[in-house]
Amino acid sequence: MIVTVVTRGLSDDCNSVALIGDTVHLQIARMGSTYVFYYSMDGEAWQIVRTFSLEAEGTVAIGFESQSPVGTGSMAEFSQMVYSPRKISNVYKGE
């Protein structure tokens, strides 16, 4: 499942979509204080996970985490993380 957590004093969890398969692409876009989190199963068709506003002075920290709240555990590998200070357009190609 894709879960996002935004902390503005308190943490705000957003449980979104259950995933099928073992690979997912994530993308974060920001314009000013507005952030949009996207996911894609194939790196082509992007779906919005959540949009939120976050006013922050100074540096903003973004991280990735994997967990297994039930069961015997899990393994995750995060790879190909890239920062690109460019504008994106027409990212959302979902239904």
pLDDT digits (tens, 9 = 90+) for 33-92: 888 999 999 988 889 999 988 888 888 888 888 888 787 888 888 888 888 887 766 555
Residue 25 lies in a domain: yes
Residue 94 lies in a domain: no
Residue 89 lies in a domain: no
Query: Strand pairing partners for 73?
Result: none
Residue type, position 93, single letter: K
Burial 46-81 (b: 16+ CB within 10 A, else e): bbebeeeeeeeeeeeeeeeeeeeeeeeeeeeeeeee
pLDDT, average across residues 7-32: 86
CA 61, distance to chain mean position in Å, is 13
- Residue 93's pLDDT is 52
pLDDT, average across residues 1-10: 84
- Residue 95's pLDDT is 47
Residue 91 lies in a domain: no
Residue 18 lies in a domain: yes
Contact between 28 and 37 under an 8 Å Cβ cutoff? The reply is: yes
For residue 38, give its domain range.
Answer: 1-82
Nearest CA to 79 among 60, 66, 94? 66
Q: Based on the structure, what is the number of domains in the chain?
A: 1
Residue 53 lies in a domain: yes
Residue 92 lies in a domain: no
Residue 43 lies in a domain: yes
Paired tokens of 30: 């920001």
Least confident of 1-10, 14-23, 45-54, 85-94: 85-94
